[in-house]
Structure 1
Amino acid sequence: MFDFSTLLTFTAVVIGLFLVPGPAVLLTAARTVQNGRKAGVITGLGLATGDLIHTIFAAVGLSAILMTSASAFNMVKWAGAFYLFYMGIRAVFAKASQTEMAKASAASAGRIYRQAILAEVLNPKTALFFLAFLPQFVDPARGASIFQFMTLGLIFVLLGVVYTTLIALAIEPISERIKRISWLNRGGGNKVIGVIYIGLGVKIAFQGR
């Protein structure tokens, strides 16, 4: 069982990490601008689900494979990069009509959720982060390590949901003003979102272990 000071330290470190903008912030902000607050919140839930999957992988040792196997790391890395490229290219070349904009705003919640999960799961750096970060707070003397991994992972996930939800709520008023800009309504908005996705794909493609 964790003592209060350990949990407090872990929570403080996680909040500190969240204050440094990363892919989760960009994906949540992009979805909020493109599809609204609900989509931003759902994206955050998808990212959190991806983090939970990484927690499970780290708990059972699967993430260690990515750390020790260059081929496994590169396979996951390129899968994640190509997926983000695909999402970005689709957005860049999306039709600019108002009908298409309406369809984008009505994007399926399930599809948004699945896309966020895939984007997070296919980021090998996230897997290595969980494998390197969580063990620092795990002490075999406190009991089963897998239980400690899952507890820490759930805390991280819950804090992540709160964080991305706040981002979506903060971005929405700005996104409403952005959507009034005629250039964005003519397809510029999709291009901006597409560039963000492609940029994240490039970031993953060039990251090393």
Structure 2
Amino acid sequence: MSIEFLLTSLVVVLLPGTGVIYTLAIGLGRGFRASIAAAFGCTMGIVPAALASIVGLAAIFHTSAVAFTLIKYAGAVYLLYMAWSILRDKSALTVNAEREPVSLGRVAVSGMLLNILNPKLSLFFLAFLPQFVSIESANATALMLGHALVFMAITFVGFIGYGACAALARDYVIARPRVVSWLKRGFAGIFGFLGLRLALTDT
């Protein structure tokens, strides 16, 4: 496995996206333990896209307007739902010393759906993996699977790092309620923007 692949994967993982934003929001609002669940969910959400690209299904999304459009709008609706949920749920980003119980499974499932309902993730893997694996190789499929697993591992570790940073900022935020209010609006706005952008994109 090349150093170029590892460095490229690290850069891609660290770039702010829906998964990063979600993990930061959970880490800040629920703490480090919940952020690990968020990181795990977002990482597992990569599995369908990686498998789809490996078996060639991502190419169908690229050539079939109907398939891409259906998944695209499903993802856009879910992102908008996340924005609405943050604004509606008064405990979603409530930062206080007394943490309310939270279902880690629910946190993980929400993170997983964010990536599963993003059709561009499949297209990303379709373009990304073949750059580091020769199609002429006898075990090209196994090599791409191995690269996908390493990418997922880097994603999980990177997202845990983001969650840890957010959790460490809790004490600062606890003493500043107005910061929580603006962060809540900010996270909701980001999810709303990403949902609209996904819905309006043509490719």
RMSD between superposed Cα atoms in Å: 2.6
**Structure 1 residues 148-157 or 87-96, which shifts more?**
87-96
Q: CA separation in 1, counterparts of 2:201 and 2:127?
A: 16
Question: Structure 1 counterpart of 2:159, which letter?
Answer: T
Q: CA separation in 1, counterparts of 2:185 and 2:102?
A: 17
Residues 104/66 of structure 1: CA separation in 2 closer, same or farther (3 Å cut): farther
Query: Given the alignment of the two structures, is residue 25 of structure 1 paired with residue 20 of structure 2, yes or no?
Result: yes
Partner of 2:107: 112
Partner of 1:41: 36
Q: CA separation in 2, counterparts of 1:118 and 1:165?
A: 18
State the Cα distance separating 1:52 from its structure 2 match.
2.0
Question: Structure 2 counterpart of 1:165, which letter?
Answer: I
Q: CA separation in 1, counterparts of 2:96 and 2:89?
A: 9
State whether residues 9 and 151 of structure 2, in contact with CA within 8 Å, keep that contact through their aligned partners in structure 1: yes
Q: Could you give the per-residue CA deviations for residues 61-86 of structure 1, whole angstroms, max 9, x where no partner exists?
A: 11111110112111111101111111
Q: Taking structure 2 as the reference length, what is the TM-score of the superposition?
A: 0.87
Q: Could you give the per-residue CA deviations for residues 141-189 of structure 1, whole angstroms, max 9, x where no partner exists?
A: 432222122101001000111110111111212133213323356x665
State the Cα distance separating 1:101 from its structure 2 match.
7.7
Q: CA separation in 2, counterparts of 1:17 and 1:45?
A: 17
4+ residue runs over 6 A deviation: 99-104
Partner of 1:167: 162
Query: Given the alignment of the two structures, is residue 135 of structure 1 paired with residue 124 of structure 2, yes or no?
Result: no
**2:197 paired residue among 184, 203, 209:** 203
Partner of 2:58: 63
User: Of Structure 1 and Structure 2, which has the larger fraction of its residues in helix?
Assistant: 1
Q: Taking structure 1 as the reference length, what is the TM-score of the superposition?
A: 0.85
Partner of 1:52: 47
Residues 13/71 of structure 1: CA separation in 2 closer, same or farther (3 Å cut): same
Residues 175/60 of structure 1: CA separation in 2 closer, same or farther (3 Å cut): same
Partner of 1:194: 188
Partner of 1:177: 172
Residues 105/132 of structure 1: CA separation in 2 closer, same or farther (3 Å cut): farther
Q: CA separation in 1, counterparts of 2:25 and 2:59?
A: 32
State the Cα distance separating 1:32 from its structure 2 match.
1.1
Residues 100/44 of structure 1: CA separation in 2 closer, same or farther (3 Å cut): closer
Q: CA separation in 1, counterparts of 2:76 and 2:7?
A: 31
Partner of 1:82: 77
| Secondary structure of the corresponding residue to residue 142 of structure 1 | coil
Residues 158/117 of structure 1: CA separation in 2 closer, same or farther (3 Å cut): same
State the Cα distance separating 1:117 from its structure 2 match.
0.7
